[in-house]
Structure 1
Amino acid sequence: MNFIQRFFYLKNKNVVEIYKYCTISTNSLDSIHKNEIESPKDYNQAPLVLNNIDFSNIRPALRPTFNLASYVNESSSLQKLVKLGVELYKFDNKPDIMSTILKLDFERDMKQYIQFVFDCGVPADCLGKFFTKNPMIFTEHIDDLNTRINYLKYKNFTKEMISFILQKHPKWLSHSTIDIDASLGFFQSQFYLSGDDIRNITVKLPKLITWSKSNVHLIIFSLNEEMGFNRSERKRLLLIYPKIYIMSKHHLLQRFIYIHETMGINHDRIVLEPKILSCRLNRIKHRHEYLKYLNKDQYNPTKPQYVSLSNIFEGTDPEFCVNIAKTSVEMFNTYLKTVY
């Protein structure tokens, strides 16, 4: 068999084998039974079930950022809080407070607390501000609140004092009696205060009593070690201007260094007018340097043309210029532009 004959022989052989394979395959159309083919369901013939559920009141799940505006129209409780003067928008981005308020019913869960706070001496026109600052008081047990008020009465705080404390620091009632008692004891022993002293600073700045004691210790250390105030001076600072003890240590020290070293004010003068320590440093610098430019930076009360420290931090710029510097405010502004 030559080459050409062999080629056609092999080709014909392959064709025959392929044909045989196709004829014995079980995958032909004839081998598929009719019951194996399912017709699609006719959904048009399915009965339509009517749904009578009202979905109009469904709200999306609470997210990390939301507001109560969309709930006020449908919540009588929120409407009554708004009428009371509560600023609901201040609860925005506070989901814990928002979710708590939404669960409360005004008559069942809120009314007794509002009446309680009013009976404690908070005026009706201040109730909105109170509950804006401390909405979580609604989660406190009413008996605990009574105990905290009775504790103040036991410590000889008058009704007027209690009223001032609650108005100035609404979150006072959210602190336990044990914590308040420990804090009052801390200040009394740390500064050797009498009962009247501790009551006076509590009324002046109730926030100080609930302030972090670690921060208070930091201020005490700075006043003593970095600024040089002795124990008696630190006590007088507390009694005259307790706000010093809740200020930023960094800012407090910056102001003291400028007032004491640059302006030449001694400790005694600062203790007499400690409010200057809470004034913005830029304001102190601008006014002192302007007085120095005019040769009027005279802070010694025993000498003529005395300028008190209160003149440095009080009043507007026009008032300072007219009453203290005796110049126009335009001249003051021109000076600042040339210096800064």
Structure 2
Amino acid sequence: MTSVCAQLCLRGRSSVCSKAVTSTWTCYAQVRRTTTRVPFTRENHTTAQGRLRWKQQMRYCSDLTAKYLTTEAKEDNDKEKLSTTDVIVHKSPLLPTKDALPPTENQMPFDLDAATQLSALEEISDEEALSIFPPSAIPPASTSLRDYVDSSETLSKLVQLGVNLWKLEQMPNVGSMLLRLDFNTDVAPRLLFLKEIGVEDSHLGYIITRNPFILTEDLNNLRARVNYLKSKMFSSETVASMVSRAPFLLNFSVKRLDNRLGFYQQQLSLSASNTRNIVARLPRLLCGSLEPVKENLKVCEIEFGFKKNEIQHIAIAVPKVLTANKRKLTQIFDYLHNTMKVPHYLITKFPQVLNSKYLRLRERHLFLEYLGKAQYDPTLPNYISLDRLVSLPDETFCTELASATLEDFYMFQKTL
């Protein structure tokens, strides 16, 4: 009986020891797996949070190992007592409880936020201090400039001026360009320059929205271009008006501006006064391409059959004809000359008709023709001026030219 009890005691002790060792190595393996997520490297331990997590895990592993060793010794004593009294008591195997399991990264037994705050009291080296960077308030990348308005003084001030950032976003590389600009050193001096030449505050937002690149132009170049225009007898008010209506005007060099003025003066055989007149009324003539202008001049002379002096008169009266869409211009002239039977001299006399809407011209002519009043010859009675035909509003056209009601005109439009 004594030998049987001794064997049972030895077997129980072996089982307890093996389970204790197994549980200890299981705990160690779990700690290793947990710490694998945060490797013990120089880089991770430059942060206070990483050091605190590592110390907590090592302390926990040491405490758990000591706990199992103490339990093992206690079990050995109990087994020795059982062997002397020949009493066998069944004890459950030694298993770690739920609380004894090592915590995961999401179930750490301490508050990381609190640990981070407490770690600020710990003394760190200069190298570790240099490696800590505060989170940036500016997004590293974005598809919209509105994400940077609160953190960028330049963008916030531009918004206050009335600049439409959503339009600037559609221009390549403009967003990054604006973020690199300093308001005090880059933007403010150019805004003050525009104010000096007479541009109103309400036009600043429009100019920058259409031409943000003016903020990167050299101030000396801007002054030189304004001085050149004034040397060509453009008044200060005219220059300010031209810059407000053609924001890209000051982006072109003095040489280019001079070449553009010389082109219009030579091609149209204009005097200096008439050249200033058409450019002041349509300043984008100095900014846009010359190819559409050259093409329209050839169309008016070759296809339409206008004489050079007639083209000159049309250009002085309606400068928009020079930059008009070729298809639209051809469509209106064809309807005037071939359908309405209007001669060249009348079109030259009322060149505004070339700048009108084709649909309005067609509807009103057909309505007058339906009423028997489509008469455009000034030498005949009941003459209707081409200028009034396209410029009057519908109600005035019906009462003064067609002698009909507005409802009759609308009903006729539904039949077209």
Structure 2 length as normaliser, TM-score?
A: 0.68
Q: For 1:170, what is the secondary structure of its paired residue?
A: coil
- Correspondence 1:238-253 to 2 at 5 A: 238-253=315-330
- Correspondence 1:44-193 to 2 at 5 A: 44=34, 46=40, 48-49=50-51, 53-55=133-135, 57-62=137-142, 66-193=143-270
Cα deviation 1:62-115 (Å, max 9, x = unaligned) = 5xxx33222212222212111112222221322322221121111111011011
- Matched with 2:5 is none
Question: Unmatched 5+ residue regions in structure 2?
Answer: 1-28, 52-115, 117-130
Cα deviation 1:35-59 (Å, max 9, x = unaligned) = xxxx898154556256954335242
- One-letter identity of the residue aligned with 1:139: T
CA distance 1:44–1:67, change in 2 (3 Å)? closer
Q: Max radius of gyration: which structure?
A: 2
- Correspondence 1:169-318 to 2 at 5 A: 169-318=246-395
- Matched with 1:332 is 409
- One-letter identity of the residue aligned with 2:304: M
| Kept in 1: contact 2:243–2:249 (CA 8 A) | yes
Cα deviation 1:114-169 (Å, max 9, x = unaligned) = 11111111112221112222111011111111111111121111112212211221
Q: Which moved more, 1:202-211 or 1:255-264?
A: 202-211
CA RMSD of aligned residues (A): 2.0
- One-letter identity of the residue aligned with 1:42: R
- Cα distance in 1 for partners of 2:260, 2:355 equals 24
Q: For 1:79, what is the secondary structure of its paired residue?
A: helix
Q: Which moved more, 1:177-186 or 1:304-313?
A: 304-313
Q: For 1:95, what is the secondary structure of its paired residue?
A: coil
Q: For 2:257, what is the secondary structure of its paired residue?
A: helix
- Matched with 1:4 is none
- One-letter identity of the residue aligned with 1:143: N
- One-letter identity of the residue aligned with 2:330: L
| Kept in 2: contact 1:120–1:163 (CA 8 A) | yes
| Kept in 1: contact 2:138–2:148 (CA 8 A) | no
- Cα distance in 1 for partners of 2:250, 2:363 equals 42
| Kept in 2: contact 1:67–1:93 (CA 8 A) | no
Cα deviation 1:157-211 (Å, max 9, x = unaligned) = 1112212211221110011111111111111111111111111111011111223
Q: For 2:248, what is the secondary structure of its paired residue?
A: helix
| Kept in 2: contact 1:67–1:91 (CA 8 A) | no
CA distance 1:280–1:187, change in 2 (3 Å)? same
Shift of 1:331: 1.1
- One-letter identity of the residue aligned with 1:312: L
- Cα distance in 2 for partners of 1:94, 1:60 equals 20
Q: Report % sequence identity.
A: 35
Tell me the number of residue pairs that the alignment of Structure 1 and Structure 2 aligns.
Answer: 298
| Kept in 1: contact 2:376–2:384 (CA 8 A) | yes
| Kept in 1: contact 2:138–2:151 (CA 8 A) | no
- Matched with 1:25 is none
Q: For 1:111, what is the secondary structure of its paired residue?
A: helix
CA distance 1:323–1:54, change in 2 (3 Å)? farther
CA distance 1:127–1:137, change in 2 (3 Å)? same
Q: For 2:173, what is the secondary structure of its paired residue?
A: helix
